[in-house]
Amino acid sequence: PGRGAGSTRTTLTHCPYCSLQCGMDVTAGDRPATLVPADFPTNRGGLCSKGWSSTELLDHPERLLRPLVRSTPGDRTSPLVEATWDDALGRLVAAIERTQARYGRDAVGCFGGGSLTNEQAYQFGKFARVALRTSAIDYNGRFCMSSAAGAANRAFGLDRGMPFPLSDIADADVVVLVGSNPADTMPPAMQYFDVGRARGAKHFVVDPRRTNTARNAELHLQPLPGTDLALANGLLHIAIAEGLVDEEYVAARTTGFEEVKAGVAAYWPDRVERITGVPVAGQRRTVLALARAERAIVLTARGAEQHRSGTDTAQAWINLALALGLPGRPGSGWGTVTGQGNGQGGREHGQKADQLPGYRSLSDPAARAHVAAVWGVDPDDLPVPGRSAFELLDALGTDGGVRTLLVLASNVAVSAPDARRVISRLGDLDFLAVSDFFLSETAELADVVLPSAMWAEEDGTMTNVEGRVVRRRKALDPPAGVPDDLQLLATLAERLGAGRHFIGDPETVFQELRRASAGGPADYSGISYRRIDDEQGVFWPCPTDEHPGTPRLFTERFATPDGRARFLRVEHVDASERPDADFPYVLTTGRVLAQYQSGTQTRRARSLQMVAPTPRAELHPDLARRLGIGPDDVVELTTRRGRARFHALVTDTVRPDVVFAPFHWGGGSSANALTDAALDPTSRMPAFKVCAVAVARVEGP
Ligand code: SF4
């Protein structure tokens, strides 16, 4: 993977951004680093504009190179000034010790991110449980994948985003995408759809917006946000009525169908049309194509999942896929399209409130014993599960809540729902420490800011959208004195008296991760850096050195105790907020091609800023006309939680009753200042994708 002569060297590594984990060759040496796309199985020589821009940030003038501390300790109104590592870490460690002595162990918390490598996510979870012995840890993947994960665990006994390789998409005769827009979020993945389309495959897109993915579809179904569950139940109703259920598969490989059949009986096509707005003819066309295809795939993503009924919504689409006999067959199945670069691995190795490495449950005595043995600690000393991400943030500074918080690779001041409430809670902390590459909106609020190495400056592994474990390889050294997060955690643990448990070397940490995951649902014990190099990544589970890895899951049995998938009856419930006289429209949020997540990085990339410099709220021409709003006018969106301003993008790609706002910006254009923190009862996923909104023009172009 590393090659070159003299002072210049080219290294195969992966894009820092999304879960496709496109391969790229980074050349570094005595000039600024450059990159070209690699012919890796995920991207086959393609990259999107975000990937192309990624080396721009390595030498960015705003890059943090030294720790920052408040000039007056304890006064967050005083300026952040440069400090030595000794001073910055000394303040953090003192705050941890002071807080735990006064309020108990759980008063110190950790908040991680889906861009951390597997090794870093693993180490962060271990740091919380062993060095801090706190239950208070969760990560931003709770805002991303948790509903799909909850549904997959319930239905299949195992959660791996796509239980099949990306190449299966090219083999499918029909693909239904629900709330998923890969044409804008991971464009190189469209190669797989294009190959299928070229040989006659048909794609159906379910999305309130006519996205670039929907434009090329056989049919675009445009439901009201928050009604995807009713649509899935309606499609299953039609499939049953038309005799399209794969009875043999259902009998042999599943349980619970009769209960679901009884439940969807009430989802008559005309009733579903009334709930969703999707015409009966569109419902029929979609399900008939899906059921009659030899190979068919249903993919859900955040549009379907970021709701207070997100887990049940994913389950409804799984029910449909199971009834048609899809999961476990080549070129077929249900999957979810992960968002963050290591959203998958991030939730497998212990930075989630309820999990231990290997996707083990923190509540399982056998799992606690296994992992404690690897860590060299007493299982009784491991904490119990803590609060989920939003609940952790919402309790900051309260009795029983976290008082000192360490944040790695997450910008919750922009990415959390009801963001102004979260910002206020961050202000209630006794102490906030943030590790990041740039002074993010969250870092701006901190007592201590710790600079961190960037993607091309570190080694580790990432687990992509397909469950393929890939190598992030170091292409150049970080700036002098800037550690990666593994080294940071090892140093902190040392200062906290737990140093013997922590090592800063990624491959050594990965070896430990392998042992900790052995025998668990996400078993990495047969995966090594060498194998990843030789095999262009290895799919988990991979329990032995000789095991080939598992690109396609569930071919013979599901991961449930009896090997059968579980149907589960689920019912449509109204969104937590419905339009009313004060807030007459529906707000939904999402991404644009040239920005990524909270924008900490992409808003600083010049080439991306030229494409998407300002946040634009999408409004239908009918709505714009009614409200006297013209193209590029500034509009104010108001919800029960706050206000935010955007330039208007008047477009008929969005429903007339829906407004779309991108969530990549903070401050006065923070879409998440508007969103609703109503939580899914199973996954604790906030309802990012739907709330009631008022719209008003505030000034001209
Ligand atoms: Fe990076 Fe994703 Fe774009 Fe590929 S599709 S270049 S992984 S952001």
What pLDDT score was predicted for residue 700? 52
Helix, strand, coil abundance in the chain, percent, nearest 5? 35, 20, 45
Ligand 1 atom nearest to CA at 186? 5
Return the bridge partners of 179, or none: none
Residue 495: CB atoms within 10 A of its CB come to 17
> In which residue ranges of the chain is CATH 3.40.50.740 found?
68-72+79-144+342-539
Place of tokens 């687990």: 463
Ligand 1 atom nearest to CA at 596? 8
Mutate to test the pocket of ligand 1, among 14, 19, 22 (most ligand atoms within 8 A of CB): 22
* CA dist list (Å): 228 to 177, 205, 317: 11, 12, 9
* CA dist list (Å): 503 to 97, 383, 529, 546, 632: 22, 22, 17, 28, 53
pLDDT at 701 over 80: no
Ligand 1 atom nearest to CA at 341? 7
Q: How far is the CA of 41 from the centre of ligand 1 (A)?
A: 13
What pLDDT score was predicted for residue 32? 84
For residue 71 the two structure tokens come to 């000039």
Residue 262: CB atoms within 10 A of its CB come to 10
Q: How far is the CA of 579 from the centre of ligand 1 (A)?
A: 36
Ligand 1 atom nearest to CA at 43? 4
**Residues in the chain, overall count:** 701
For 595-611, write each residue's pLDDT tens digit.
888 888 888 888 888 88
Ligand 1 atom nearest to CA at 37? 6
pLDDT mean over 481-487: 94
pLDDT mean over 415-426: 95
Name the least confident of 5-19, 132-146, 490-504: 5-19
Q: CB of 329 within 8 A of CB of 102?
A: no
Residue closest via CA to ligand 1's atom 6 equals 51
For 28-41, write each residue's pLDDT tens digit.
987 789 999 999 99
Q: How far is the CA of 438 from the centre of ligand 1 (A)?
A: 20
What pLDDT score was predicted for residue 2? 56
What pLDDT score was predicted for residue 591? 86
For 533-574, write each residue's pLDDT tens digit.
999 999 999 999 999 999 999 999 999 999 999 999 999 999
Q: What is the percent of the chain where pLDDT is above 70?
A: 99
Return the bridge partners of 110, or none: 137, 406
Residue 281, H or E segment: helix 280-292
Q: How far is the CA of 553 from the centre of ligand 1 (A)?
A: 25
Residue closest via CA to ligand 1's atom 1 equals 51
Q: pLDDT category, 3, cuts 50, 70, 90? A: low
Ligand 1 atom nearest to CA at 187? 5
Please calculate the CA angle 361-367-371 and round it to the nearest 5 degrees.
110
Residue 479: CB atoms within 10 A of its CB come to 16
Residue closest via CA to ligand 1's atom 2 equals 18
Residue closest via CA to ligand 1's atom 3 equals 48
Ligand 1 atom nearest to CA at 21? 7
516 vs 122: CA distance, rounded Å: 10
Q: How far is the CA of 50 from the centre of ligand 1 (A)?
A: 6
For 326-339, write each residue's pLDDT tens digit.
999 999 999 999 88
Ligand 1 atom nearest to CA at 185? 5
Q: How far is the CA of 44 from the centre of ligand 1 (A)?
A: 12
Contacts of 650 (CB under 8 A, 6+ apart): 619, 620, 621, 624, 629, 630, 631
Q: CB of 462 within 8 A of CB of 334?
A: no
Q: How far is the CA of 596 from the centre of ligand 1 (A)?
A: 10
| Diameter of the chain measured on Cα atoms | 72
Q: Average pLDDT, whole number, for the chain?
A: 94
pLDDT at 5 over 70: no
Mutate to test the pocket of ligand 1, among 50, 55, 342, 607 (most ligand atoms within 8 A of CB): 50
Q: How far is the CA of 539 from the centre of ligand 1 (A)?
A: 19
Mutate to test the pocket of ligand 1, among 12, 15, 44 (most ligand atoms within 8 A of CB): 15
Which 3 state secondary structure label does DSSP give 93?
helix
Q: How far is the CA of 139 from the centre of ligand 1 (A)?
A: 21
339 vs 111: CA distance, rounded Å: 18
pLDDT mean over 579-590: 95
Q: How far is the CA of 235 from the centre of ligand 1 (A)?
A: 33
Please say whether the dihedral angle defined by the alpha carbons of residues 206, 212, 213 and 218, taken in this order, is positive or negative. positive
pLDDT at 663 over 90: no
pLDDT mean over 384-399: 95
Mutate to test the pocket of ligand 1, among 14, 24, 47 (most ligand atoms within 8 A of CB): 47
Q: pLDDT category, 594, cuts 50, 70, 90? A: confident
345 vs 322: CA distance, rounded Å: 26
Residue 218: CB atoms within 10 A of its CB come to 15
Mutate to test the pocket of ligand 1, among 39, 43, 52 (most ligand atoms within 8 A of CB): 43
For 196-251, write each residue's pLDDT tens digit.
999 999 999 999 999 999 999 999 999 999 999 999 999 999 999 999 999 999 99
For residue 294 the two structure tokens come to 């030899």
pLDDT at 305 over 90: no
For 344-375, write each residue's pLDDT tens digit.
888 889 899 999 999 999 999 999 999 999 99
> Nearest-CA neighbor of 435 among 23, 132, 88, 142?
88
Q: How far is the CA of 52 from the centre of ligand 1 (A)?
A: 8
Residues with CB under 6 A from ligand 1: 15, 17-18, 20-22, 43, 47-48, 50-51, 186-188
Q: How far is the CA of 48 from the centre of ligand 1 (A)?
A: 5
Q: How far is the CA of 383 from the centre of ligand 1 (A)?
A: 37
For the CA atoms of 645, 647, 652, 655, what is the dihedral angle to 10 degrees?
-10
For 102-147, write each residue's pLDDT tens digit.
999 999 999 999 899 999 999 999 999 999 999 999 998 888 888 9
Ligand 1 atom nearest to CA at 189? 5
Which 3 state secondary structure label does DSSP give 649?
strand
User: Looking at the predicted complex, does its ipTM rise above 0.95?
Assistant: yes
Q: How far is the CA of 46 from the centre of ligand 1 (A)?
A: 9
Residue closest via CA to ligand 1's atom 4 equals 22
What secondary structure does DSSP assign to 438-478, as a single string? S--TTGGG-SEEEE---GGG--EEEE-TTSEEEEE---SPP
225 vs 691: CA distance, rounded Å: 9
Q: How far is the CA of 193 from the centre of ligand 1 (A)?
A: 16
Place of tokens 């680093």: 33
Q: How far is the CA of 14 from the centre of ligand 1 (A)?
A: 9
Instruction: Spell out the alpha helix ranges (H) of 177-266.
Output: 182-185, 190-198, 212-215, 228-241, 247-253, 257-264
Residue 219: CB atoms within 10 A of its CB come to 16
What pLDDT score was predicted for residue 145? 84
Mutate to test the pocket of ligand 1, among 24, 186, 190 (most ligand atoms within 8 A of CB): 186
What pLDDT score was predicted for residue 4? 58
> In which residue ranges of the chain is CATH 2.40.40.20 found?
585-699
Ligand 1 atom nearest to CA at 42? 4
> In which residue ranges of the chain is CATH 3.40.228.10 found?
146-336
Q: How far is the CA of 47 from the centre of ligand 1 (A)?
A: 6
Which 3 state secondary structure label does DSSP give 499?
helix
Mutate to test the pocket of ligand 1, among 12, 13, 14, 17 (most ligand atoms within 8 A of CB): 17
Place of tokens 């290591």: 342
Amino acid letter at 408?
A: L
Residue closest via CA to ligand 1's atom 5 equals 186
Tell whether domain 585-699 is in CATH 3.90.1150.10: no
Ligand 1 atom nearest to CA at 24? 6
Residue 354, H or E segment: none
Tell whether domain 68-72+79-144+342-539 is in CATH 3.40.50.2300: no
Q: How far is the CA of 15 from the centre of ligand 1 (A)?
A: 6
pLDDT mean over 255-280: 97
The fold for domain 146-336 equals Dimethylsulfoxide Reductase; domain 2 (3.40.228)
Q: How far is the CA of 463 from the centre of ligand 1 (A)?
A: 14
What pLDDT score was predicted for residue 607? 87
Q: CB of 596 within 8 A of CB of 140?
A: no
Ligand 1 atom nearest to CA at 52? 6
* CA dist list (Å): 490 to 84, 385, 499, 654: 17, 23, 6, 49
Which 3 state secondary structure label does DSSP give 263?
helix
For 307-328, write each residue's pLDDT tens digit.
899 999 999 999 999 999 999 9
